[in-house]
Chain A
Amino acid sequence: QVQLQESGPGLVKPSETLSLTCTVSGASISSYSWSWIRQPAGKGLEWIGLMYIIGSTSYNPSLKSRVTMSVDTSKNQFSLRLNSVTAADTAVYYCARVDRLHYYGSGSYDYYYGMDVWGQGATVTVSS
């Protein structure tokens, strides 16, 4: 059974760096892609970034200048760093496994990179 667990400080001061780690159990981090998603209280989901090959990343354009994702294969963990945070970065942060899911549609076989396993979420508040 694959499980993901987010960890990190629950309180970050404005202008500082938010750092979170996602620990993966039950699956090798080298075998999948991984993503971070966040959700402000009472609002919708916002995709933050994707590590689609170990060491290769893609980020939400709106956050790209402040985001870094990294991986530690020896610990089966991947991490998120978001710098220069403001109150607008207060949210629940989720990590998720991204799997290549095959399907048949429109007359051909194709695949979708779906987020099929999620962590429980880590609440991060930005406040002085």
Chain B
Amino acid sequence: EIVMTQSPATLSVSPGDRATLSCRASQSVKSNLAWYQQKPGQAPRLLIYGASTRATGIPARFSGSGSGTEFTLTISSLQSEDFAVYYCQQYNNWPPMYTFGQGTKLEIK
């Protein structure tokens, strides 16, 4: 089973600054990685898939990079609505299954 590890657990950043979140896979997942954003009391929202492709309607300040075992989500200029918890997720083609990272809480500094 592939284990996804996110770091840091909590990231404190000022509005307008850049945030960089990391996700590491215990073995190569190629580009089979997605990022989700979850705000309190809401369902998660898909941000990035295929490691670097933005989902429909996601602002350009969100970008993803990486492949294999190391991935990064970058938010270039933090807006107030970006403070949330972010999860990475890997998809295994066969057998079909998913694993989530434990999440990174992005909080206002």
- Which of A's residues lie within 8 Å of B, judged by CB? 35, 37, 44-47, 50, 52, 58-61, 94, 96, 101, 103-106, 110-116, 118-121
B43, A45: Cβ atoms closer than 8 Å: no
A106 → chain B closest CB, angstroms: 6
A44 → chain B closest CB, angstroms: 5
Q: Contacts A106-B30, A118-B45 given; indicate if A112 touches B50 (C-beta within 8 A).
A: yes
B26 → chain A closest CB, angstroms: 15
B46 CB–A CB distance under 8 Å: yes
Q: Tell me the count of chain B residues lying within 8 A, CB to CB, of chain A.
A: 32
A60 contacts across to B, CB distance below 8 A: 97
B101 contacts across to A, CB distance below 8 A: 44
A52, B96: Cβ atoms closer than 8 Å: yes
B83 CB–A CB distance under 8 Å: no
B14 CB–A CB distance under 8 Å: no
B74 CB–A CB distance under 8 Å: no
A101, B103: Cβ atoms closer than 8 Å: no
CA distance A60 to B55 in the complex (A): 25
A110, B100: Cβ atoms closer than 8 Å: no
- Which of B1, B49, B67, B99 has the most chain A CB atoms closer than 10 A to its own CB? B49
Q: Which of A35, A104, A105, A116 contacts B98 (CB 8 A)?
A: A35
Q: Contacts A47-B100, A61-B1 given; indicate if A121 touches B43 (C-beta within 8 A).
A: yes
**Nearest CB to that of B50 among chain A residues?**
A103
CA distance A116 to B49 in the complex (A): 10
Q: Contacts A45-B100, A46-B100 given; indicate if A101 touches B31 (C-beta within 8 A).
A: no
Chain B 72-109 against A: per-residue CB contact (8 Å), 1 yes, 0 no? 00000000000000010101000111111111000000
5 contacts between A and B (CB under 8 A): A45-B36, A58-B97, A61-B1, A114-B34, A115-B44
**Nearest CB to that of A117 among chain B residues?**
B46
- Give the residues from 5 to 43 in chain B that come closer than 8 angstroms, CB to CB, to chain A: 30-34, 36, 38, 43
CA distance A59 to B53 in the complex (A): 27
A59 contacts across to B, CB distance below 8 A: 97
B52, A105: Cβ atoms closer than 8 Å: yes
- Which of A47, A58, A115 has the most chain B CB atoms closer than 10 A to its own CB? A115
